Amino acid sequence: MKIMIMNKIISTFKILLLSGLMLSVTSCEDFMSTESNRYMSENDNLLNSPNDSVFSLIGILAQMHKIADKYVLIGELRGDLLEVTENTPIDLRNLSNHNIDVNSSEFADTRDFYAVINNCNYFINRADTNISVRGDKPFVRELMAVKTIRAWTYLQLSLNYGQVRYFTKPVLSVDDLESNYVEMNTEQLVDTLINDLMSMNPLTNRQSPDYAEGTINPYFLLGDLYLWKAGYSKMQSDFENAAFFYSKLIDLGITIQPYIYVRWLNDRYENRVDSWSSIFEPSMSNELISGIQLAETNHSGVANQPLTVSKLYEMSRSEQLTISKAYQDISDAQIYCFREGGGPIKYTTGDLRIKATMKERISVENNTIITSNSINKYEYHLTSIYRRGLLYLRYAEAVNRAGKPSLAFTALKYGLNNTNLSTATRVNPYEIADQKPYVTIFNKEIFSENVGIHNRGAGNTEVNTSYVLPDFTRFETLKDINGNDSIVITSDPLKMAEAKADSILFVENAICDELALETALEGNRFQDLMRFSMHQNDPTFLAKKVAAKHSDNYNYYLNLLSEPQKWYLPMR
């Protein structure tokens, strides 16, 4: 799989590389600082040949390498699943403690994010989309890819720092700093990004360039943008738009395969079979949709261009990063269901994905056997931005809030396919009677073997009687014709709405736990908790989750993070 590669031609870029760019929301003097004096004239280098498109896009992808580790650390250390140790550097400890130093912390420095954006702006403004080669317009595909990268990067900035300085023209000189830049919060930004991406008509399904397979998928990103938009608007139409774009990507043939799991081999629970771990190895799986592949070792490429090396795996091996007790508690709370063939159903405790995430390593040093644990997800130096498991969980989140909780729960327990959608005890017929396209796609034969994602770590979930959507139906007592009491299902709209709201809340909490079990430590967690808090109009949802990691100081973190303005990092 070719994911953000071709480091050897980095030195030949025709695109402007302002790797030291820093934009802030303070004074003009602080607006940009740079360690480089490599500027281009505004009138130079119109991008008008296929080689220009190749070199330019690869240059942008190389800039993405610089934010890969930061993306994971910001998203996970502030959450409840990734933990620091006594060996952890102080800057990472402060990040985990929500107490970074704005003057010295690398996490208060947004220059690398804005460098990506500025490179994207240069391409977008200088690319000649009218160039045609053998009937193909190469810059049209690249333009969609670059606009998607820019939108994703802007979104990360906004979600992590609370606001962005939005600009669409490249900063080519100090004089450009006199331009007026628009400050936006996340609510304003998502509308702007949606409009920009839709102007390129992503529904035409343009394929990403072959040499840039790891670029951000536009369908997935639009689904995310509408999901965040819905967090503010609370409108069903926005949740449905999110579901629509997720389903457009799923409809390309993306399934949850029945053979990807971690399971006990027998009911003695002594040995496991693990095919789930392989999805994090790029050469072994088609799970990945978008990702950033970093180098394994610190060496130089052509013309002494340094490669970006991921530090996450080494930090894990040296026990600077580990899993939290809160993560372990979520995993331990799951009921594992074992069934061999048509035999009896048996139960034990614990989801097995955590055992495949944190692996024991044995090495020999100076004739001494040393045992250590490391995070398997970091071993291949691949930052997963979007993958199949996350896609189905985001889809479930969207359709649940769109008023289809049994459909969302089926994505977790049974699998989305025609058989399960046609089974009234699994999917409520009233939820899918509207025949929405984002639902009917699962009637296709390609999804016939789709399984529930909880099967990946909790055994034979489809027959697990403890993993069910409770019946929240409201009843009322009426008098029959003879004056006797008769208990019937309520027709009171308020009570019916209460029952549906209870179902939605139950499923949302199940999705939140499933995100921890399936996508822990990948960079999404803090933002996921932010979004669920928004759905529930309850900032303490996030606060309680994160405070659980800080059990020795629970009340401090509960109070601190119950204020949404404290969710964001300061910018230097």
pTM of the model: 0.90
pLDDT at 273 > cutoff 70: yes
Degrees, nearest 5: CA angle 97-98-104: 100
CA 2 to the chain's CA centroid:
20
**Strands 82-84, 288-293: parallel, antiparallel or unpaired by DSSP?**
unpaired
- What pLDDT is recorded for position 14? 34
- What pLDDT is recorded for position 26? 35
- Average pLDDT of the chain, as a whole number: 86
**Mind listing the pLDDT tens digit for each residue in 185-203?**
999 999 999 999 999 887 7
Phi, psi of 494, rounded to the nearest 5 degrees: -70, -40
Which ranges constitute the DSSP H helices of 22-137?
50-77, 90-96, 111-126
- CATH class of residue range 1-201: mainly alpha
pLDDT at 13 > cutoff 80: no
**Mind listing the pLDDT tens digit for each residue in 452-509?**
999 999 999 999 999 999 999 888 777 777 777 777 788 888 998 999 999 999 999 9
- What pLDDT is recorded for position 213? 55
- What pLDDT is recorded for position 207? 60
- What b/e string do you get for 286-304 counting C-beta neighbours within 10 Å, with b at 16 or more? ebbbbbbbbeeeeeebeee
pLDDT at 94 > cutoff 70: yes
Q: How many CA atoms lie within 13 A of 146 on its CB side?
A: 31
pLDDT at 5 > cutoff 80: no
Q: How confident is the model at residue 53 (pLDDT cuts 50, 70, 90)?
A: low
- What b/e string do you get for 482-520 counting C-beta neighbours within 10 Å, with b at 16 or more? eeeeeeeebeeeeeeeebbebbbebbbebbbbbbbbbbb
Contact in structure between 123 and 47 (CB atoms under 8 Å): yes
Phi, psi of 565, rounded to the nearest 5 degrees: -65, -15
SS3 content of the chain, % helix, strand, coil (to 5): 50, 15, 40
* Percentage of the chain modeled with pLDDT above 70: 83
Q: Out of 4-8, 163-167, 316-320, 376-380, pick the least confident.
A: 4-8
- Where are the chain's structural domains? 1-201
More reliable by pLDDT, 306 or 44: 306
